Amino acid sequence: MIDGDDGVILLLYEAYKAYTERVRDARRDVHQLLLEEEWRVAMRSRHYLTTQCLDAPCASGWMTLYEYGTDINFLNATSLTRTPTKLRYLQKVLGLVLTFYVGSLEQSSLCITFGVPPNTLSRTLRKAEEALARALNGYAPARISWPSPSCQVELARMVNKREPLLTHTFGFINGKNLRVQEPSNADLQNAMYNGWLHSVFFRGKLTDLQYCPDGRMSVVSDSAFPCSTAVTGRILTPLKDGDIEKIEPSLRATARTLHNAITSIRQAAEWGMGSVQKVYSRLNLPLPYDPNLRGMRIGNLFRLANYRVRTVGISEIKTTLSGAMEMPEQLAL
C-alpha cells in the first residue's frame, strides 16, 4: 500500500500534469488565433510585393530602413494606409505620355515603371494627352499645314530636278488604314465607321483654288488611291497590272518611263509614313473607338513627328529630293 506522503505526491503530480497540458493547448489556440488575425489584416490591407518591383536584398530600401531606421519609422513607412501615389513632377508626366506613344507597353507594365496604380495612370494619361494636344496645336514647329502656292512651286522644282518628266508635281500622298478597337455597341460601330474615307478632304483641298490656284499642280499616289473625274490630271498614279497592254504600242515605252518616275517619287511617301510608325509604336496597336480621343492621339503623334523633323533638320525625304546625297559632277567625271 502507498503511505500518506506518497499519495499526496502522486495527486500533486497528476494535477500538475493536467495543468501543463491545458496551458499547452491554450497557447496553441492563442497562436492559431493570432495567425488568423494577422492573415485577415494582410488580406484587408492588400500590401503585396511582387518580384518585378523588388531589388537585390542587399540594396533594398526595406533592408536599409530596417537596419538603420527606428521602429517608429519602419512602422510608419510600412503599416500606415494612405492615398495612392501621384506623379508629382510635370517632366514625369511628359515621360509617361511619351513612353506610352513610343512603346507598346501594357497598362500593368506602365504602372510598374512609374509606380502608380491603374486608376491614377489612366486619369493622368488622359489629362496629359489633352495638355499635349493644346500645347502642340498652336506651336509652329509642330504644325500640320497645306503648302502655300510659292512653296508648291519650290517643291515642284525639286521634284522636277530629280524626275524631269514630272513638271508640276509638288507632293506625294499615301493612304494608311489604322486599326481601331471595336465598341461593344454595334450601332455605335456602324455610326463611327460607315465606309467613308478621309481621302475626300484631300481631293477637296487639291481642287480648291484658294489652296491650289495653279490648275497644273499635281501630286503622285499609289494605284489604290480613289480618284474621280474631278481630279483628272491632278493625282498621278502608276500603272496597274494589265494596263500596259491597253496602251498603244507606240506609247508603251513613254508610259513605262512615266510609270517608273511616279513610282520613284512616290517612294518618299513610304519613307514619311515609316518615319512615324517606326518611332511611335502605339500606331501599330488598335486605336480607341472614341473618335475624339482617337483624333487627338493621331494628331499628337503626327505633330510630334513634324516637330522632330523641323527641329532636328534630318529628313530622308528632304535629303533625297534636295540632292544632298548626289555625287558632285566634278567627282562623277
- Domain check: are 148 and 113 in the same one? no
> Residue 224 is part of which domain span?
140-181+199-332
Same domain, 224 and 112: no
Asked if residue 266 belongs to a domain, the reply is yes
Instruction: Indicate whether 243 and 309 sit together in one domain.
Output: yes
Do 124 and 150 reside in the same domain of the chain? no
Q: 204 and 154 share a domain?
A: yes
Pairing of strands 235-236, 169-172: unpaired
Q: 133 with 149, same domain?
A: no
If asked whether residues 119 and 176 sit together in one domain, one would say no
Kindly state whether residues 121 and 258 are assigned to the same domain: no
pTM, entire model? 0.65
Task: Tell me if 29 is assigned to some domain.
Answer: no
Assess if residue 52 is contained within a domain: no
Q: Which residues contact 331 (CB under 8 A, 6 or more apart)?
A: none
Residue 165 included in any domain = yes
Residue pLDDT tens, the chain, 333 long: 456 677 778 888 888 888 989 999 998 898 888 888 887 776 665 555 555 555 555 555 656 666 766 666 555 555 555 565 678 888 889 999 999 999 888 888 888 888 888 888 999 999 999 999 999 998 999 998 889 999 999 989 988 888 888 888 888 887 778 888 877 776 766 666 655 566 667 777 888 888 888 888 888 887 777 676 767 778 888 888 777 888 888 888 888 888 888 888 887 777 766 778 888 889 888 888 888 999 999 999 999 989 988 888 777 777 777 765 554 554 444
Give the total number of structural domains in the chain.
2
Looking at the fold, whether 210 and 176 belong to one and the same domain comes out as yes
Q: Write the burial class of residue 258 (CB in 10 Å: 0-12 exposed, 13-18 middle, 19+ buried).
A: middle
Do 237 and 270 share a domain, yes or no? yes
Q: Is residue 129 domain-shared with residue 220, that is, in the same domain?
A: no
Domain-embedded: residue 289: yes
- The Cβ of residue 169 has, within 10 Å, a number of other Cβ atoms equal to 24
Q: Examine the domain organization and report whether 114 and 206 are in the same domain.
A: no
